[in-house]
Amino acid sequence: MTANDASTGQQPTATYDSAFLKACRREPVPHTPVWFMRQAGRSLPEYRKVREGIPMLESCMRPELVTEITLQPVRRHNVDAAIYFSDIVVPLKAIGLDLDIKPGIGPVVEQPIRTRADLARLRDLTPEDVPYVTEAIGLLTRELGSTPLIGFAGAPFTLASYLVEGGPSRTYENAKAMMYGDPELWADLLDRLADITAAFLKVQIEAGASAVQLFDSWVGALAPADYVQSVMPASAKVFEAVAGYGVPRIHFGVGTGELLKLMGEAGADVVGVDWRIPLDEAVRRVGPGKALQGNLDPTVLFTDKNTVEAKAQEVLDAAAGLEGHVFNLGHGVMPNTDPDALTRLVEYVHTHSAR
Ligand code: CP3
């Protein structure tokens, strides 16, 4: 069976028993599983080769290309999970928003969402809007064998930050001004985005994804009280919508030290942690009943082998008392990273966590 049963989330046994899914479920593992956010992408020469001349968003809509790019880091690094190659703005493009991913910049939205009238442009997403996702995940689950595939989506706040600003921002001044100044419009916007995100994750799970990660990359810009009031209900709606599948739900953001507990309470099974807080402190903040994912500083990979190993060992040591640990970087692989350093890191984590 390649696809998940919609009611039970049933997986092929070898996938269900993988170290990655066991760690997410807080079960004993033979070794600490490891994968990297942005493991597919510009750090790999084979990625740069197959992407030549093909715009980012177009490449996300070609199932054979998506399959090849998703598999590249699995072949090269021996990571414990694949992450579906796509982008957080793909579902927004699929419902007809005029946006693009500009090289070296990121997502840019032609007409930002600023008024109540603009909300009408955010219609529901159906599986028919993203046939290439279902097709690519079908191809991938056959190729991956027992290696789990992680599906993902952008969380309502992070998506809203691009839609309201019109592109990447350091301050989120327009988005936060809407949040503070017109809380009803903001709540309706985030609720619309929660429905779109939930529908997009469901497509991926029903096609065969074994876990999902909700990227709220920029939510660290908020104070906890604002998170509770203005963001958490929408993120919780997303997690609740996919709870019935029984696949692990990972929740990640950057600079979220003060939000970790709340991000778990939003409905995550696994809480992603960036490099600013060691995992033994993160687990105190999150509390029991959740696995943690993280959290080597991605810039450590620009140092020598001994330093990388010493820093990786610090992460493993800090994780020693966790109920479940998935090794990852504290944010995505940076484009100039030496891919061999990543391969060596996977081997180090596997060897030095073997039980
Ligand atoms: O390997 C993987 O992790 C899967 C691929 C993936 C991409 N985007 C591909 C991509 C994932 C998980 C994402 C998620 C994503 N996209 C996030 C959340 C993760 C995070 O980093 O916090 C965000 C904020 C985006 C929005 C976005 N898309 C940005 C900021 C950029 C970078 C702009 C740039 O060029 O530096 C993109 C473009 C993008 N998405 C690239 C890739 C591989 C680079 C474009 C390219 O290779 O041509």
pLDDT at 10: 63
| Closest atom of ligand 1 to CA, residue 254 | 22
DSSP labels for 115-143? Answer: STGGGGG-PPP-GGG-HHHHHHHHHHHHH
**Which residue's CA lies nearest to atom 33 of ligand 1?**
106
275, 297 in Cβ contact below 8 A? yes
180 counts as catalytic? no
Query: Ligand 1, atom 40: nearest CA belongs to which residue?
Result: 87
Q: Evaluate if pTM is beyond 0.85.
A: yes
State which ligand 1 atom lies nearest to the alpha carbon of 217. 22
- Rounded to the nearest 5°, which phi and psi values hold at 103? -55, 130
Residue 108 C-alpha to ligand 1 middle, in angstroms? 13
The answer to whether residue 192 is catalytic is: no
The CATH number of domain 13-352, selected from 3.40.50.2020, 3.40.1080.10, 3.40.50.300, 3.20.20.210: 3.20.20.210
Cβ contact 26:19 at 8 Å: no
Answer whether 85's CB lies under 8 Å from 40's CB.
Answer: yes
pLDDT attached to residue 355: 87
Residue 323 CB-density burial (10 A; 0-12 exposed, 13-18 middle, 19+ buried)? middle
pLDDT at 206: 98
51 catalytic per annotation: yes
Active site residue 38: yes
Beta bridge partners of 99: 109
- 123 C-alpha vs ligand 1 centroid, how far in Å? 24
Kindly give the number of the ligand 1 atom that is closest to the alpha carbon of 40.
Answer: 1
Domain ranges of the chain: 13-352
Ligand 1 pocket residue status of 246, Cβ below 6 Å: no
Q: Which of 25, 38, 121, 123 is catalytic?
A: 38
Q: How far apart are CA 162 and CA 157, in angstroms?
A: 9
Rounded to the nearest angstrom, the distance between the alpha carbon of 102 and the centre of ligand 1 is 11
Most ligand 1 atoms within 8 A of CB, residue of 87, 89, 108, 256 to mutate: 87
Distance, CA 87 to ligand 1 centroid (Å)?
A: 6
**Segment 245-269, tens digit of pLDDT:** 999 999 999 999 999 999 999 999 9
Residue 297 is assigned to a ligand binding site = no
Beta carbon of 83 within 6 Å of any ligand 1 atom: yes
Task: Determine which one of 25, 42, 62, 76 is catalytic.
Answer: 42
Task: Indicate if 42 belongs to the active site.
Answer: yes
Contact 58, 353 (CB under 8 A): no
Please tell me whether 331 is known to bind a ligand.
yes
Per-residue pLDDT in tens (0 to 9) along the chain, 355 residues: 334 544 335 688 999 999 999 999 999 999 999 999 999 999 999 999 999 999 999 999 999 999 999 999 999 999 999 999 999 999 999 999 999 999 999 999 999 999 999 999 999 999 999 999 999 999 999 999 999 999 999 999 999 999 999 999 999 999 999 999 999 999 999 999 999 999 999 999 999 999 999 999 999 999 999 999 999 999 999 999 999 999 999 999 999 999 999 999 999 999 999 999 999 999 999 999 999 999 999 999 999 999 999 999 999 999 999 999 999 999 999 999 999 999 999 999 999 999 8
Measured CA to CA, the distance from residue 4 to residue 247 in angstroms comes to 9
